[in-house]
Structure 1
Amino acid sequence: MESDPLPECLNTSQCREIYIRAQVPLEFALYLYGYVMPFIVAVTVATNSFIVLVLSHRYLRTPTNVVLLAMAVTELLTGLSCLPWLLYYYTFDGYKVDEEFGLPPFWCTMFPYMASILPSIFHTAAIWLTVFLAVQRYIYICMPKLVRNYCTNRRSKQAIVIICMIAVWIYAPELFVTYNESFTVIDTENHAVRRICVRVRTAFIQMVGSNIYYYIIYGLHTLLSHTVPCILLVIFTWKLIAAIREADKRHAYLTSNSVTKKRYAMNADVESSDMGESPSVPPSKSFKKAARMRSSINESKRIQGLKQNTRMLIVVILLFLVTEIPAAMIFSLHVSTVALQITYIQKHYHLLNKLLIIRNVLIVVSYPFRFAIYCGMSQQFRQVVRSMLTEKVIFPCEKKARRIGRPTTTRMDTTQTDDRR
């Protein structure tokens, strides 16, 4: 087997050989990347696929559910896009092949996309979809006059497309500044042929300047993919929680006043009857008046459902923040260390590399819990799941028989808690 001529750029700063083991502490990554991450991704594939199937149901096509559906898809793609590389290199001992013979040409070319670029694009889209979900819910609760114009299926789909395009735009420069190339060389020490994977810098980054480019691009990644979304989520979540608490206090106050007025009216009727006086209002009218009072004070089913959906979405957002804020802090620390040349942290850079692995695990660890939240807090979700399991799994023959014997179709009796558009 003949060797390829080594690229001349190795003698300059235009390219460098890639040593994955120098970037990733293998003894730490083997367990998390090789076993924990594939397990989490496998569970995410199962749960999010089912969420996508349920939220695609025609009875759940609301503006909020459209966003939840897009979130489930982007989270699913975040895990799937990195899974092939994790399985090859860490689970099935690809690192041993790399150490002995070098990375195969396919993995040399593709691993930057699978390990970094594609997961980052999908994760950024998921983050901003969560922000949009919080903003949309804030409009539902605090600005109901704008719901009819801004909280529609059409608006939600437009926002999803824009968010996905922005996520691609944020990481698009990575596609034009470097590329990987595999070379076959002769190892003179071991008298063997091996491959080397070289990262080559394009003319674009040479024109802009390596330091300037990485300062700008990683600064934008820190701000647009982590810091700004987390700040917005904290603000809108706090406002939503405050609005829900205020609504609960108002409802409790009105309910207590209603009970007090009802007791006062009953006592007055008893006193007048004891004195032999006939009530001035007929009993039927008194009953209707009390019923109207109760109906005006008690919340409608739609308002109760709206508040319940808001509580569920607050839990979803808080779960997202619990894992995203530490991940954002770790990434920001990494970027600051490189950009500002922080000497103390650079001395312990191996620890920072371990934190980056933990950060990547934190990103996906919350994904499987969404299914439990939806099942536990959404009555509509449970109804559709029960209906789908009953009709397609448990009693498929009975459903077919009903369709043959009864030409008219029946619509599921569910109460939509979001405005349908």
Structure 2
Amino acid sequence: MADDKDLLDYIAPVSQNLTNIMTIDNGINEINGVIPSHTNYSLYDNETGFLEYSNFTTDDYCSSNHSHVYLNVTCEFPINYAEPMYGYIAPFLLATTTVANTLIVVVLSRRHMRTPTNVVLMAMALCDMFTMLFPAPWLFYMYTFGNHYKPLSPVQACQAWNYMNEVIPAMFHTASIWLTLALAVQRYIYVCHAPVARTWCTMPRVMKCLIYIGIAAFLHQLPRFLDRQYVPHITVWRGHFEEVCRVEFSPWVNKVSLDAYFSTYFGFRVIFVHLVPCTSLVVLNVLLFKAMRQAQMNRRRLFKENPKNECKKLRDSNCTTLMLIVVVTVFLVVEIPLAVVTILHIISSTIVEFLDYRIANILILITNFFIMASYPINFAIYCGMSRQFRETFKELFIRSVVSSRNGTSSRYSLVNGPRTCTNETVL
């Protein structure tokens, strides 16, 4: 989740006897301990005197046994923060995001709303929604229903947890980041290089761009589908034998070495998923804002010469540009803190260790939670700043209901929507 739940991946330093891999993807982080000398059978792995779990604090519970050997959510997350945020608040965010983004897709898929810009916005809404939908069953099971302290089994369940809670959300969130960058680039072309917009911002080109982004996001996460495996592990849990999942890295990862694999993966992620997109979006936002201010000056001048036609076109184009600036700004506000902490982590784990990882985990958990909370905001932005979006929404969900009750029909009068100077339908 937001989550990608923005789901950021994260390595802790490698010690001599224990490799701790910490993965934080869209609000979810994972600590997998691998002890090569440990066997698949351990009589006292989770022996705690057969006392109830409630008699222990989280720290006591995790330090009093070998729960780091197998998949145990209580010992993988800052549970005091994760449980209220992902167990009690996240279900409401999931419902809100699902409803809001579904409405966005329905409205933008209408015939008169199909434009290159709207297609990108629709793809962003779908990616954000899937980022939260895939891990939702596990968040309910682990946090809402309070099963996080139980060892997860069988192996298939552990694999599903990894894929649905870590890898797939990260894939969709990565695609959403690149789609946001594509949206900003597209709008920059419309506003600052209008003559080439008719060539570069056509519907076929935009559809190809969306396909390329989807393929790139999948390829980026493909190693995460294959970099670890879960094997059955027998332990004693609360007084009885229990089969749990022990995490091991795949042979090919060990062959290329953990340092080489994770340095390559996280180096690529930091540069191309966080640093370059966020920096580019800041620059494009500044350029778009300056262009919009210049357009406002042109609008005042044109109003004196032609108060009806050209002035209206510039006003409509300005409204669309301002709305997209707000969308990108909201994205940057929640993404930049996560990118900063990730970069600091990479520096701390490769050059000089200075981070307190307990605090870093809490900060990233909270940051990812705010990323999830930002997903429904776009619907409010569209409704508040786009006249055509409001009109189409009213036509679909308000006037149609009233008309059906009155036995009359209603149809949106702007079939093709108003046109801007670049021949793009205003959102």
- Which residue of structure 2 lines up, in the alignment, with residue 294 of structure 1? 306
Structure 2 Cα separation of the partners of residues 44 and 180 of structure 1: 33
Aligned pairs for 1:338-353 (under 5 A) are 338-342=349-353, 344-345=354-355, 348-353=356-361
Cα deviation digits, residues 223-282 of structure 1 (max 9, x gap): 111111101101111100011112223433565xx4xxxxxxxxxxxxxxxxxxxxxxxx
Which residue number in structure 2 is paired with residue 170 of structure 1? 220
Q: Does 1:314 align with 2:340?
A: no
Q: Does 1:107 align with 2:115?
A: no
CA contact (8 A) 2:228 2:247 kept: yes
1:82-110 Cα offsets, whole Å, 9 max, x none, are 21111111111111333xxx544443121
SS at 1:24 equivalent? coil
Instruction: Measure the CA separation in 1 of the matches of 2:412 and 2:174.
Output: 42
Q: Secondary structure at the match of 1:94?
A: coil
Q: Structure 1's 90 and 376: CA in aligned 2 closer, same or farther, altered over 3 A? A: same
Contact 2:112 2:416 in 1 (8 A): no
**Larger helix percent:** 1
8 Å CA contact retained: 2:295, 2:318 = no
Q: TM-score, normalised on structure 2?
A: 0.78
Q: 1:92 to 1:335 in 2, by over 3 A?
A: farther
Give the aligned partner of residue 253 of structure 2: 205
The residue type paired with residue 376 of structure 2 is: P
Between the aligned partners of 1:71 and 1:81, the Cα distance in structure 2 is 16
The one of 327, 351, 355 equivalent to 2:363 is 355
CA distance in 1, matches of 2:301, 2:39: 71
The offset of 1:145, in angstroms, is: 0.7
Task: Report the equivalent of 2:340.
Answer: 329
Scaled by the length of structure 1, the TM-score of the pair is: 0.79
Question: Structure 2: how far apart are the matches of 1:243 and 1:409?
Answer: 32
User: How many residues are aligned here?
Assistant: 364
Which of 90, 94, 100 pairs up with 2:147? 94
Over residues 280-311 of structure 1, what are the superposed CA-to-partner deviations in whole Å (9 max), with x where a residue is unaligned?
xxxxxxxxxxxxx4359x73433221111011
SS of the equivalent of 1:95 reads: coil
| Residue number among 314, 339, 364 corresponding to 2:372 in the alignment | 364
* Residue pair 2:299, 2:311 contacting (<8 A) in 1 also: no
Q: Give the AA of the match of 2:331.
A: F
Q: Does 1:125 align with 2:175?
A: yes
Stretches of structure 1 that go unaligned for 5 or more consecutive residues are 1-7, 259-292
- 1:161 and 2:173 aligned: no
CA shift digits 1:300-326 (9 cap, x unpaired): 433221111011111111111111111
Which of 299, 306, 310 is matched with 1:251 structurally?
Answer: 299
C-alpha separation between the residues in 2 aligned to 1:202 and 1:148?
Answer: 49
Residue type of the alignment partner of 2:404: P
- Aligned match for 2:98, one of 26, 41, 45: 45
Pick from 26, 39, 51 the counterpart of residue 79 of structure 2. 26
For residues 316 and 216 of structure 1, the distance between their equivalents in structure 2, rounded to whole angstroms, comes to 31
SS in 2 for 1:415: coil
Matched, 1:415 2:418: yes
Which residue number in structure 1 is paired with residue 243 of structure 2? 195
Evaluate the alpha carbon distance shift between residue 13 and residue 201 of structure 1 in structure 2; reply closer, same or farther with a 3 A threshold. Answer: farther
Percent identity, aligned pairs only, is 33
**3-state SS of paired residue (2:243):** strand
Q: 1:11 aligned to 2:64?
A: no
Residues 16, 200 of structure 1: 8 Å contact kept: no
Q: Identify which of 198, 212, 231 aligns with 1:148.
A: 198
CA contact (8 A) 1:103 1:195 kept: yes
> Secondary structure at the residue paired with 1:200?
strand
Say what the alpha-carbon RMSD is for the aligned residues: 2.8
What's the CA shift for 1:411? Answer: 6.6
Residue 155 of structure 1 and its aligned partner are, at CA, apart by 1.2
CA shift in 2, pair 1:196/1:107, >3 Å: same
| Separation (CA, whole Å) in 1 of partners of 2:88 and 2:393 | 31
- In the alignment, the residues of structure 2 paired with residue 13 and residue 310 of structure 1 have an alpha-carbon distance, to the nearest angstrom, of 60
Q: Is the Cα–Cα contact under 8 Å of residues 72 and 148 in structure 2 kept in the other structure?
A: no
State the 1:144 CA deviation. 0.6
Residues 134 and 168 of structure 2 are in contact (CA less than 8 Å); yes or no, is this contact kept in structure 1? yes
What corresponds to 2:23 in structure 1? none
Distance 1:410 1:310 in 2: 24
Runs of at least 5 residues in structure 2 that lack an aligned partner in the other structure = 1-33, 41-67
Residues 108 and 182 in structure 1, CA contact (< 8 A), matched pair in contact too = no
What corresponds to 2:284 in structure 1? 236
* Shift of residue 389, structure 1, vs aligned partner: 1.9
Q: Does 1:220 align with 2:273?
A: no
3-state SS of paired residue (2:310): coil
The structure-2 alpha-carbon separation of the partners of 1:201 and 1:409, relative to structure 1 and needing over 3 Å to count, comes to closer
Which residue is 2:17 aligned to? none
Q: Distance in 2 between matches of 1:212 and 1:13?
A: 26
Pick the aligned partner of 2:401 from 393, 402, 410. Answer: 393
Secondary structure of 2:244 counterpart: strand
Look up the equivalent residue of 1:306 and give its one-letter code. S
